[in-house]
């Protein structure tokens, strides 16, 4: 008996599989440069053809992030952005008509500060379909997986090229999708990836029936196409966050705001393989 899934993310991956297409999954920092603009950018990303979104909770000590996302977090933290603010942003985007599955991306500390009971109570009624917590300690993952399951949200595991013998353990009991990190180090655009990244992705595919997505360093349509041919999803973060950073002067001026938003939309639209562009 197939379990009827109500999780928006799972349904999206099922639909994309039928279309024979990988998901384009942008990451953006919530509140960069401000919350109102984040809501406008979410609409542009959806119009550009994003299939789901990683909504990043800005954090003061983003250890796994390169300079682009570190700067975005610093800008966003100028206004007091908490996990709850990011959840409310997801709900507001839904109420404004977005149909995208939202993945809340946060480091573990902000979740602990909110309190696990409160966090999971809020997650579900804020339209969050997935969670990525890159620094979740292994010893906490069983409890977090249980809480996620009870809240009907997918706790998405990250696997790195060095995970090799631990892949089976990491992906067992996971849901949503498995996030393959393409390279070692921190986030940020790259011209090349970990040697043998295709073999690594292949080994993850063998270890799970879940959709497999890849991220870290992907910033051009050629790179998206390369990974979209072997994965179910491709995550692009820093390149989009940098685009937002570049157009902030346009966004800040009412006379040129729409031009700034259009440039973000066009940048993301050109990332998708030509044959699947909606624009």
Residue nearest ligand IGP by beta-carbon distance: 237
Distance of alpha carbon 186 from alpha carbon 104, whole angstroms: 19
67 vs 202, beta carbon nearer ligand IGP: 67
120 vs 177, beta carbon nearer ligand IGP: 177
13 vs 216, beta carbon nearer ligand IGP: 216
Positions in the binding site for ligand IGP (CB under 6 A): 27, 54, 56, 64-65, 69, 105, 134, 158, 187-188, 215-218, 235-238
Cα-Cα-Cα-Cα torsion 121, 124, 125, 131, nearest 10 degrees, comes to: 100
- Burial class from Cβ neighbours inside 10 Å (0-12, 13-18, 19+) for residue 229 reads exposed
Q: Which of 32, 51, 65, 245 is catalytic?
A: 65
Residue 119: CB minimum distance to ligand IGP, A = 19
Does the annotation count 232 as an active-site position? no
**Please, which residues have CB within 8 angstroms of residue 83's CB and are 6 or more apart in sequence?**
57, 104, 106, 110, 111, 113, 114, 119
Residue 144: CB minimum distance to ligand IGP, A = 16
Residue 103: CB minimum distance to ligand IGP, A = 9
What tokens appear for 206 in the block?
Answer: 């063998």
Residue 64: CB minimum distance to ligand IGP, A = 4
Q: Residue 98: helix, strand or coil by DSSP?
A: coil
37 vs 187, beta carbon nearer ligand IGP: 187
As beta bridge partners, residue 128 has 102
Distance of alpha carbon 206 from alpha carbon 167, whole angstroms: 10
Q: Which of 51, 54, 122, 245 is catalytic?
A: 54
As beta bridge partners, residue 155 has 131
Does the annotation count 54 as an active-site position? yes
98 vs 219, beta carbon nearer ligand IGP: 219
Distance of alpha carbon 176 from alpha carbon 241, whole angstroms: 24
Residue 217: CB minimum distance to ligand IGP, A = 5
Cα-Cα-Cα-Cα torsion 245, 248, 251, 255, nearest 10 degrees, comes to: -140
Report, as residue numbers or ranges, the catalytic residues. Answer: 54, 65
């Amino acid at each position: 008996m197939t379990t009827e899934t109500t999780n928006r993310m799972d349904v999206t991956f099922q639909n994309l599989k039928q279309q024979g297409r990988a998901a384009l999954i942008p990451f953006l920092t919530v509140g960069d440069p401000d919350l109102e603009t984040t809501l406008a950018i979410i609409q542009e990303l959806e119009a550009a053809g994003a299939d789901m979104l990683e909504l990043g909770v800005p954090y003061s000590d983003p250890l796994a992030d390169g300079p682009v996302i570190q700067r975005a977090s610093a800008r966003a933290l100028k206004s007091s952005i908490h996990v709850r603010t990011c959840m409310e942003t997801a709900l507001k985007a839904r109420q404004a008509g977005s149909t995208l599955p939202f993945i809340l991306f946060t480091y573990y500390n902000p979740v602990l500060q909110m309190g696990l009971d409160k966090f999971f109570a809020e997650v579900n009624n804020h339209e969050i379909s997935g969670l990525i917590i890159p620094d979740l300690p292994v010893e906490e993952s069983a409890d977090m997986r249980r809480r996620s399951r009870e809240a009907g949200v997918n706790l998405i595991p990250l696997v790195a090229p060095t995970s090799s013998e631990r892949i089976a353990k990491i992906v067992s009991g996971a849901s949503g999708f498995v996030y393959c990190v393409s390279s070692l180090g921190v986030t940020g655009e790259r011209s090349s990836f970990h040697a043998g990244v295709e073999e690594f992705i292949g080994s993850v595919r063998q270890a799970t029936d879940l959709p497999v997505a890849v991220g870290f360093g992907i910033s051009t349509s050629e790179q998206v196409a390369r990974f979209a041919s072997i994965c179910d999803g491709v995550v692009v973060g820093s390149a989009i966050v940098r685009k937002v950073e570049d157009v902030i002067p346009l966004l800040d001026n009412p006379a040129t705001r729409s031009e700034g938003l259009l440039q973000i939309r066009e940048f993301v639209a050109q990332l998708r393989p030509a044959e699947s562009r909606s624009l």
